[in-house]
Amino acid sequence: MSDRASGTPGHVHLASRVALVLGVLATVAGPLAPVAGAAGGVTVTTPFPAIVAEPGATASFDLDVSVDSSRKVDLTAEGLPSGWTARFRGGGLTIDGAYVTPGDTPEITLDIEIPDGTPAGSTDIRVIASGGGGRDTLALTLRVADAAAGDVTLTSDFPELRGAADTSFTFNVTLHNDTAAEATYTMAATGPPGWTVEAKPSGQAQATTLTVGPGSTGTLTVTADAPPDAAAETYPISLSVSGGGKDASLDMAVTITGSYTLSLSTPDQVLSTTANAGTTKDFQLLLTNTGSAPVTGVTVSSSAPTGWTVEFDPADVAAVAPGTPVTVTARITPTGDAIAGDYEMTLTATGAEANDDVQVRVRVETPQLWWIVGVALILAVFAGLYWVFRTYGRR
């Protein structure tokens, strides 16, 4: 057999060695193979490539763009349905691209505005990053679903309050932001004609808006003041808020039990009288209710000069009904040694729902008996002098 023929086994061994070397190279080179769609050293990724949003909302994707050498990277979005709008944002601006350096990833956000009325379903969108000969494609999925972004609701600790017409009613309301984004809410409160109704963030008298973080709550204060002549019935109070593409409303109510007005005066509106020292003087008072509901448990008291006594008849009045005045007699007794002159005292009517007070001037005069005695003494003196002159004058 020839050497060429006998060399066949040598060729076989050479082929085996070549195959072995190629296998090793394939094993080593395998991990170094380029990733599909990330050619030329440009890569675009996002931590959440599939999100859910609702019609009329704006869906946002946070993008990470990286490069192996500094370059300008252009950004485009493809696959958007008709009527949808996509915007790339960075540094507070709307952008079409960014200058990227290795190891320094800029903060870029893709906002996609979904029109109102968009039917539920999923949409595939592509983000293309290209620059310096490199190109990468990022596949995104956006699923539209009703109420996918959460909702905004309002609750009150006491949605119905009750009291008199002169009461200032306060509702404490909690705003629940169950959406995934922070939002600033404007608020408006309304009531019946003639009412004064306001809504403010709690503890912020000058603020007109309330900012609430995602999944958080904020508090509002609604105040309602009825007109003085409000009739006894139930009145509706409404609160509405709007922000972050969401609206919410809350219905509340105020029940007016009536208005209470108690007035203390005299039948002739004269707040003065005269009295003698040590002598009781009756002084008529008039209790009047000009409100719409009875004032109950009324008592009349006095703040009189030291040593004086003031008693009232009746001492207690069970109720003063609207339009039905009640007469009370004040029995005023100055001290026996009171000096003639003017004295001031305060009379107060106090009821469970209202009260009033008046200042009364009392002029203390000398008792008539002393006038009589004085006149008698003067007459006696003149009579005595007359008798003296008449008897001894001619001698």
- Residue 274, in any domain of the structure: yes
- Residue 384, in any domain of the structure: no
Confidence of residue 20 (pLDDT cuts 50, 70, 90): very low
- Residue 12, in any domain of the structure: no
The token duo for 33 is 């193979």
- Residue 220, in any domain of the structure: yes
Verify that 253 and 266 share a domain, yes or no. no
Host domain of residue 118: 40-144
Per-residue pLDDT tens digits for 250-284: 999 999 988 888 999 999 999 999 999 999 999 99
* Boundary-marking domain end, from 258, 287, 316: 258
pTM confidence score: 0.49
Verify that 266 and 364 share a domain, yes or no. yes
Is 380's pLDDT higher than 50?
yes
- Residue 242, in any domain of the structure: yes
CA atoms within 13 A on the CB side of 136: 19
* Boundary-marking domain end, from 80, 114, 144: 144
Verify that 232 and 216 share a domain, yes or no. yes
- Residue 27, in any domain of the structure: no
Verify that 159 and 254 share a domain, yes or no. yes
- What's residue 385's pLDDT? 78
- What's residue 370's pLDDT? 55
Q: How many CB atoms lie within 10 A of CB 22?
A: 10
Q: How many CB atoms lie within 10 A of CB 275?
A: 20
Verify that 332 and 236 share a domain, yes or no. no
CA distance 109 to 61: 6
Verify that 129 and 209 share a domain, yes or no. no
Q: 300, 265 in Cβ contact below 8 A? A: no
Verify that 187 and 174 share a domain, yes or no. yes
Verify that 133 and 91 share a domain, yes or no. yes
Confidence of residue 160 (pLDDT cuts 50, 70, 90): very high
- Residue 16, in any domain of the structure: no
Verify that 331 and 349 share a domain, yes or no. yes
CATH code (residue 332): 2.60.40.10
Per-residue pLDDT tens digits for 47-92: 999 998 888 888 999 999 999 999 999 999 999 999 999 999 999 9
The residue-averaged pLDDT of 279-305 equals 92
Verify that 268 and 254 share a domain, yes or no. no
- Residue 45, in any domain of the structure: yes
- The total domain count for the chain is 3
* Boundary-marking domain end, from 258, 277, 310: 258
Strand 160-164, strand 246-258: pairing: parallel
Verify that 49 and 110 share a domain, yes or no. yes
Is 121's pLDDT higher than 60?
yes
Higher per-residue pLDDT: 58 or 331: 331
Higher per-residue pLDDT: 388 or 104: 104
